[in-house]
Structure 1
């Protein structure tokens, strides 16, 4: 049976185009005989990609097409060339106020440790003076906390220290080193970078403990070669000699030439200078 829509289509086509009906009569008869249901024209549908929904603009920012309706801005903002810190041409806040002070990149944030504090810990039994003392012992005994760049040994209350100690720190003052050596102990100033210091204080956090680092910068090399501060890179011939009152002789560290000379060589240099000054004074006396 033919549908009503098919009959209507055939009648309409016969009225408007009688030749098309005559030419397609045989095909239509074959279609009826093969029991095809309805017409092909009635089953046509639009392709989903052939049309799109209407774009609704200017209906709020949540739609993504609000305000400027997808047309963007005019003028300076149309090319996205304005930096987020640009203030429209007025004096920016970074230039409006003066800068006071600075943060040095060279300065080290050492934990300061005085000798009197070490003696208190030894008297309380929290440190063993018979064994070498390292920064890990100082951290575990809670004598030093929050170690960032190391520990510096200072000489405040040095008269209260009565026990010889063997201690290794990152830096030390000359007064502290002299007092410890006077009692028969030793102070070793050793260089640590961030990695080796962390491995020294917390070795349990490393599967493989890294090797010790040596100083690279010239100022660090000179410091850790200085025997007055107990540098661990001090040459054996530059052992400090004892001066007056048990204090080490600072002449061993010859700052002017950036070298470490034995005391005998420094004495010769000093004698030459004295002879030159004496000869100059004699010349001045003769001219007078």
Structure 2
């Protein structure tokens, strides 16, 4: 017919209306949740630090500022040191977190890890 809701003034079909089929937001399942207390770390491995020291981009005393200047972290990053690779040089490094094995490797080379 010619009459009906669609022929009246002011009628607008909802933007998300899909006719008679099941709408997208009801077809897709919901998964999980976002933990508001999660801490995101910028991960830096020992082999990366060794490469930067050999290339002359880092000194053997490493602070958060020197990591930022070398391009390994950004100013708002939290930095975590992980143990992939080896370190021969005696380094003193300052990070927000470090794995147990990374701390052991640095200390066995005569260096130290300090947590900020």
The TM-score range, normalised by the shorter chain, is 0.7 to 0.9
Structure 2 residue runs without a partner (length 5+): 1-7
3-state SS of 1:156 partner: coil
For the pair 1:120 / 2:51, whether they are aligned, the reply is yes
- The reply on whether 1:136 has 2:62 as its aligned counterpart is no
Preserved contact between residue 111 and residue 152 of structure 1 (Cα < 8 Å):
yes
CA 1:163–1:188 in 2, change beyond 3 Å: closer, same or farther?
same
Asked if structure 2 preserves the Cα contact closer than 8 Å seen for 1:112 and 1:154, the reply is yes
Q: Between Structure 1 and Structure 2, which shows a larger proportion of helix residues?
A: 1
Residue 155 (structure 1) aligned with residue 83 (structure 2): yes
Change (3 A) 1:187 1:93: same
Q: Which runs of 4+ in 1 moved over 3 A?
A: 84-87, 90-93, 100-104, 145-149
TM-score, normalization by structure 1: 0.32
Confirm whether residue 173 of structure 1 aligns to residue 99 of structure 2.
yes
In the TM superposition, residue 119 of structure 1 has moved relative to its aligned partner by: 1.2
Calculate the TM-score normalised by the size of structure 2.
0.72
Higher-Rg structure is: 1
Which digits, 9 at most, give the CA deviation of each residue in 1:213-244, with x for residues without a partner? xxxxxxxxxxxxxxxxxxxxxxxxxxxxxxxx
Q: Contact 2:44–2:81 (CA<8 Å) still a contact in 1? A: yes
For 1:155 and 1:107, the matched residues in 2 are separated by 22
Output the CA distance in 2 between the equivalents of 1:123 and 1:176. Answer: 19
Q: What SS is found at the alignment partner of 1:139? A: helix
Q: Number of aligned pairs?
A: 104
Choose the corresponding residue for 1:108, options 29, 39, 53.
39
More strand by share: 2
The change in CA–CA distance for 1:170 and 1:85 in structure 2 (over 3 A counts) is farther
Deviation at 1:127, TM superposition (A): 1.1
* RMSD across aligned positions (CA): 2.7
1:93–1:105 Cα change, 3 Å: same
CA contact (8 A) 1:180 1:187 kept: yes
Q: Partner of 1:196 in structure 2? A: none
